[in-house]
Amino acid sequence: MKTPIFYLLSILLFIGCGSESNLTFETISITEKECPDCPEVLVEIPKALEQTNLSKTINTALEEELISLLVFDDEIESTSLDEAILSFKNGYQELKKLYPDETAGWKAKIDGEVTFEDKKKITIELKSYLFTGGAHGYTTNSFLNFDKRKGKELENWELFEDQDHFVNFAENKFRIQENIPQDNTINSTGFMFEKDEFYLPENIGFTKKGLTLLYNQYEVASYAEGAIELTLPYNEIKNYLSKKVKL
């Protein structure tokens, strides 16, 4: 029999949870490997549980990212995760028919996690590894940023109040981190920025340590260099951001 204290604690817990602005997530796990010689698909991502436009936006954006990663044939439109996984499997089987003795097993491993959340915004990072033959697989990370109050995904330019000055600030910090002399061109030590000019990466995300600028493999450096990350503390960039960060 439950005591009055139990009910009191339950009520307090409910009130405490209700006062928090953080969303509620469950982990969605997908494991696909039908046979020893079949391609392997491993997916583990968060799913927002609230019945709100924000949760729908987050879940839809995550699914679209997964589909874009897994679809092997760009000429075939996949509108669901199941169709994308099937496309990945079919791509392997078709290639194996052409090269039965040379096709190594394919693998797709995709993980997602919330890297930051406050009352105004939430960021989810997707980490993926795809191997579809060749000398090595390909690893990519991507950040998805969302405006919690408007219930929409944010474009990178919407993160900044003063993007032009932020680019200059970020370039200075990038040069210091990567030991690039300030009076030399940005590619003088081996980077591969187009037109030899610094620019922000496609993937920018909020984390507990700061705002992370993430250049994936091949984006501005060779494959051997791996991903290039620059994390800028919030106290140094608060004047550049469109919304204040509350840790």
Domains and CATH numbers, the chain: 22-154 (3.30.565.40), 157-237 (3.90.640.20)
> For residue range 97-113, what is the model confidence (pLDDT) as tens digits?
888 877 788 999 999 99
Residue 13 scores a pLDDT above 60:
no
Higher pLDDT, 168 or 224: 168
In the structure, what pLDDT confidence band is assigned to residue 145 with cuts at 50, 70 and 90?
very high
In the structure, what pLDDT confidence band is assigned to residue 174 with cuts at 50, 70 and 90?
very high
Q: Which amino acid is at 32?
A: E
Interatomic CA distance for residues 44 and 126, integer angstroms: 10
pTM of the predicted protein model: 0.86
Interatomic CA distance for residues 220 and 227, integer angstroms: 9
pLDDT value for 12: 37
Residue 203 scores a pLDDT above 80:
yes
Nearest by Cα to 133 from 175, 170, 99, 174 = 99
DSSP state of 105: P
Average pLDDT value over all residues in the chain: 88
pLDDT value for 221: 94
pLDDT value for 74: 65
